[in-house]
Structure 1
Amino acid sequence: MRTRNALAPVLALTAALALAGCSSGASPTSSPTTPAGNPVAGSWGQENTGKPSITIAEDGSFNGTDGCNSMAGHGKVAGDRFELGAFRITLMACKGVDTWLSRAASASRAGDTLTLFDKGGTQIGTLDKR
């Protein structure tokens, strides 16, 4: 029995060293499969009632408002554009509010301006960086 107890620390150390050897030592951000980043990440638009705004995270999740309805979803980077994909949106009727943002399908950034496009690729509006 004494031999078995004496081997336990040696086996544990050997296992730990073997597992450490499997690590590349590279940080997750240096992985060649990690995307270069989300070119449209950030907050865009105005926070005023009746004005459109959207916040897009690095991971592609987003939320915002078209000035009336709340929206949320998860998109993906496609080249230099961001594809919003399908998203959830409330369907309230708001008198006098232009709900153009609810038709957005993709976005691209030029400096501090986010340009949004509908499914057909037609520009439907712009939002400024907040």
Structure 2
Amino acid sequence: MERFLLRSAALATAFTAVSCAATSNDPGASKPIESETSVILQDPVGLWGSKEQGQPWLELAEDGKLTGSDGCNRLTGSWNASEDLQFDALASTKMFCEGVDDWLSRAATAKLEDGNTMLVLDADGKELGTLAFGGKGS
């Protein structure tokens, strides 16, 4: 009799676990709270890169404007987001700085990866480089 009760309890527990798992996809089921990372993925506004001397960076403003530097030349333009980030009317000064790679001045689009890395691409979709998220309101 004791074995019967233990088996019944085990079956009841298993049935409850299976039925809960089956209903977890219901629209009314609770959803996980968005993490800081997923918020950054949805809202790219802020500093990307580092404003240290000679380092590339972009700062995306809420109004769709961007400013930045390729480490030597100043960058200005606008941005918008759909699936990826699009950089429009990107303009750059044309100073020569020895030893500085001007890859960021060729940016056309970008993808946000893991919420804290911006993968920058040229107009042909070729990978140019990455910028780490530096924070909001810098």
Identify the TM-score tier after normalising by the shorter chain: 0.5 to 0.7
Matches within 5 A, 1:16-95: 39-77=43-81, 79-95=82-98
The answer to whether the 8 Å contact 1:71/1:88 transfers is yes
Residue of 103, 106, 109 corresponding to 2:106: 103
CA distance in 2, matches of 1:58, 1:65: 19
Instruction: Number of aligned residue pairs: give it.
Output: 93
| Deviation of the 1:72 alpha carbon | 0.7
| Deviation of the 1:128 alpha carbon | 0.4
Percent of residue pairs bearing the same amino acid type: 39
Structure 2: segments with no counterpart, 5+ residues: 1-40
| Deviation of the 1:76 alpha carbon | 1.7
Structure 2 match to 1:9: none
Structure 1: segments with no counterpart, 5+ residues: 1-36
Root-mean-square deviation (CA), in Å?
1.6
| Deviation of the 1:88 alpha carbon | 2.0
Partner deviation per Cα, 1:47-92 (whole Å, 9 max, x = no partner): 1111100100122210000000001111222x22111012221000
Closer, same or farther: CA 38–55 of 1 in aligned 2, 3 Å: farther
Return the letter of the residue paired with 1:86. Answer: A
CA distance in 2, matches of 1:38, 1:88: 25
The answer to whether the 8 Å contact 1:40/1:114 transfers is no
* TM-score, with structure 2 as normaliser: 0.63
* TM-score, with structure 1 as normaliser: 0.67
Runs of 4+ off more than 3 Å: none
